[in-house]
A and B are shown apart, each in its own frame.
Chain A
């Protein structure tokens, strides 16, 4: 490969800092990553191979430099913090080091690492969607979204997004078209260049992989003996077909090879199935503007999160309409004592249930994941539940006996049948299931 940077190697940056290389971390297709000393702190340096700067190295450099100057759109991005000067025909950029406890999506795909729970998967999905919402909202597109870009914490679902060197103002041609298997059909076919709408398609592929550990377009057709470039173009470009398409099973799941999809899909709630079906429908493949938006994903995922109830055995149960259900691990019957009725659906009110801003009527997208309420257990009385006002606004509540009360930020309302409160012009009703 290219010359490896020696420990002790020094290079100057845009902000007139001097970087000192400390250790080699890893090598990838485009170059290598080193641990470096930068302003007295340990940071990571991505250093490019000369041959991987694309067709227009100067424009590529300028784009990374602009990203450094503009700053990160949200905390999920391992954003370029500084860029080196041109050195011997190439350059690098500085970013934060990846903390421990995170693994690449690829490691999850190979089951070298597994999520600790479905809630952690949903939280990872929410972090991904919300990061791309912020990125797109800031006028950028990612352009090269694939399984190598994400580091995920398998315990809590926190996400770090790397490789932000191709992020560019939406509509800019960077020369990069993306990684095979993750490009949107219009990019595969050369009909368009990557933009925020093709990002949405690639993001849906990642989300399906997180839940089902299969690629959504790689059903039976993928199993052809020799996958030539022409067949790949059909599979991902001209004839894409979702493996779970209910009307056409010619690319359906193979009973052995795609067992993951078969077992997970049947347990997913209808609204999650629907958003995947909408993401990979013929219409979504052909008409990029019809793809589900980030806010649609956030709404579906927060609802899904609300409906998962932990069993005492540690298993997670996907509840449906608050009906009693049986844990399929220990067999225990779970009764959901209370539910919270929102305007469009109701969610179980169990310990740690949450209501997010986007579950209450129309909201500004940037506030979608702001916490509004959370169910807590009384510290000195296990089993007694209350709902805490996590928002900054005061709630107008009405007790079960019809008395008006105010609930200040941080206050807790006991879970009792008939109590209702109004937040952001939406009414939430506490109802007993018994």
Chain B
């Protein structure tokens, strides 16, 4: 009979939380500081949750965009059960969100970041911007929408400050109700932590008949729990700008490989 000490931990799927963050020049000052603090709190909270998570192995990847884009987690997604320290970002440059989408698309693949032997769950992707794109993001967005990991991800958007392009961010996350708009930096920090924790713990929580994993659902929970003012709602007629195709019925099989 095998020694109890020879058994290994249960196999778990990986669950990736992606942060795609605007660090352009307009973020300078209090905004970048709030973002850094928010990210620090998010990663600390996720680290705590990761240590006792029997449902998924939590990983985090951070992509910043300004003039071009760059992975802050340079070695690929970081295992949150290991030592991971969030490094503060600096603001400067343009708002090349198209470049970020292109880069994200290239890594959302089983041949890139999502290459675990046990496979992965649908990722969580959190976008944050305070401005308007300075590159042509339409083509990159059209391409990433064809990526099944992206289209099935839980996507949430933050539109920060006085003049964010809420239409663009709504287009990217695919639903204006999955976007929160705020100028209140303290509220932003609390919201970032709430949506990060809630989205990454959905697989570990008891569900009701109403539970969904959509960004829209998580944003509505955040608004209820944190008493978010009405002004944070992004009210757009999604039909006018959202070109995300209807979700294709998923007909993947157990042996499915290359497409992922």
Contacts and interface: CB of A to CB of B under 8 A. Distances in A.
Contacts of A328: 1
B250 A230 contact: yes
A225 B1 contact: no
Interface in A285-325: 315-318
A147 B118 contact: no
Nearest to B152: A228
- For A29, A49, A50, A315, the residue with the greatest tally of chain B CB atoms inside 10 Å of its CB is A29
B2 to A, nearest CB: 4
B117 interface: yes
Interface stretch (B5-13, B21-29, B167-175): B5-13
Interface stretch (B30-38, B51-59, B64-72, B82-90): B51-59
Nearest to B190: A1
B221 A227 contact: no
Interface in A360-419: none
Interface in B242-260: 249-250, 252, 254-257, 260
Nearest to A104: B52
A118 B203 contact: no
A45 B117 CA distance: 41
Interface in B205-227: 205-210, 213, 221, 224-226
A215 B255 CA distance: 20
B210 A107 contact: no
Nearest to B6: A263
Contacts of A263: 2, 6-7
Given A213-B9, A250-B254, A259-B8, A264 B208 contact: no
Interface in B172-211: 190, 193-194, 197, 201, 203-210
B121 A227 contact: yes
A115 B6 CA distance: 12
A209 interface: yes
Given A110-B9, A111-B9, A226 B149 contact: yes
A178 B207 contact: yes
Given A30-B205, A110-B54, 7 more contacts: A29-B201, A50-B225, A55-B210, A226-B148, A258-B11, A259-B8, A263-B6
29 contacts: A1-B197, A30-B205, A50-B224, A51-B224, A54-B208, A55-B208, A176-B206, A177-B206, A181-B55, A220-B254, A222-B11, A222-B13, A222-B119, A223-B119, A224-B256, A226-B114, A226-B121, A226-B252, A226-B256, A226-B260, A227-B122, A231-B250, A257-B117, A258-B11, A260-B7, A260-B10, A264-B1, A328-B1, A329-B3
Interface of A: 1-2, 29-30, 49-51, 54-55, 104-107, 109-111, 114-115, 117-118, 121, 144, 146-148, 166, 175-181, 190, 209, 213-215, 218, 220-231, 250, 256-260, 263-264, 267, 315-318, 328-329
